[in-house]
Amino acid sequence: MLELEDVHAGYGGAEVLHGVSLRVDEGEIVTLVGSNGAGKTTTLGVIGGGVRVRAGCVRFAGVDLRRRRPEHRAGLGIGQVPEGRRLFPTLPVRDNLLLGAFAHRKKTKETRALLEEVLELFPILRERERADAGTLSGGEAQQLAIGRALMSRPRLILLDEPSLGLAPRMVQRVFDALSALSARGVAVLVAEQNAMQALSTAERGYVLERGRVTMHDAARVLREEPQIVATYLGGV
C-alpha cells in the first residue's frame, strides 16, 4: 500500500536520507527504529508531506505522492500523529477530535459515527470528553492525538515516537490501540526509539542508521538480532 524506493531527502544543503526503501502493506504494523537523528522523523515527513523528496519514489495506494500537494495527504487516506501531539489545549477533547474530521465535513451522521468509534477505542477520551485537552495526562493526550488522526478515516497512520515521555502502563495502552487499529485494517507506520516495545507490537521493522536502512525483517527476528539487542535493547 505504501512504498518508498531509494528516497533521498534533506533540509537545505544537507541530505539526511540517502536512499531509503521501505514498504507497508494493508493493515500491517511496521516500525522504524533508530537512534536520535537517524532520520525517522524525516522519513515520516516524506510520506506525510512536510519534507520534499529530492530523488526516488513514494507511492501510496497506487498514487505517486511526489505529484500530490502535502495538504492533500489526509484526503488520500494518510493520518498523522506528530511528535509532540500538537493538540489544542484550550479546547475540549471532543472538539479536538472533531477538528480531525475533514474541515469540509460538517457534523454529519458519518462524523458522529466516527466519533463514537474513536470513543469506543479510547474509553478514557469518553470519560474526559468535555475536559480541555490541556488537562490530560501525557498518555491520555497521546490517545487523543491518535483519536484525532483517526477522525479522517485513514488507511495508513503515521506515528512519531508515541511512547515519548509516557509511563510504561500508558505506553502499553498506546501500543494496544495500534494493534486494535491494525485489526480494523488500518496500516500503521510507527517511528520509535523504544525499540523493545515497538518490535513487540509490530509485524516488521526497519532499522535506520544515519539516513540508511541497515536491516529489515520480521519484528520477531529483529528482536533476537544480537546487534539490535546490543544497540537498541539495552544489551539485555
DSSP string, 182-195: HHTT-EEEEEES-H
Q: Quick one: 38 or 97, whose CB is closer to ligand ATP?
A: 38
Closest CA to 83 of 44, 134, 33: 44
What part of residues 191-210 is at the interface with ligand ATP (CB under 6 A)?
Answer: 193
Cell of 108: 454529519
Cβ 10 to ligand ATP shortest distance, Å: 7
Part in contact with ligand ATP (CB under 6 A); list of ranges 23-31, 33-41, 89-97, 108-116: 33-41
User: Are 203 and 189 a contacting pair, CB within 8 Å?
Assistant: no
Cβ 14 to ligand ATP shortest distance, Å: 6
Q: Quick one: 33 or 101, whose CB is closer to ligand ATP?
A: 33
Q: Quick one: 58 or 93, whose CB is closer to ligand ATP?
A: 58
Cα of 9 vs its chain's centroid, Å? 19
Cβ 232 to ligand ATP shortest distance, Å: 12
Q: Angle between the 109-121 and 168-183 helix axes, to the nearest 10 degrees?
A: 130
Q: Quick one: 36 or 226, whose CB is closer to ligand ATP?
A: 36
The answer to whether 42 contacts ligand ATP (rule: CB under 6 A) is yes
**CA distances in angstroms from 213 to 34, 36, 197, 210, listed in the order given:** 9, 14, 20, 8
- Beta carbons within 8 Å of 120's beta carbon, 6+ residues apart: 126
The answer to whether 190 contacts ligand ATP (rule: CB under 6 A) is no
Residue numbers at the binding site for ligand ATP (CB under 6 A): 11, 16, 34, 36-42, 193
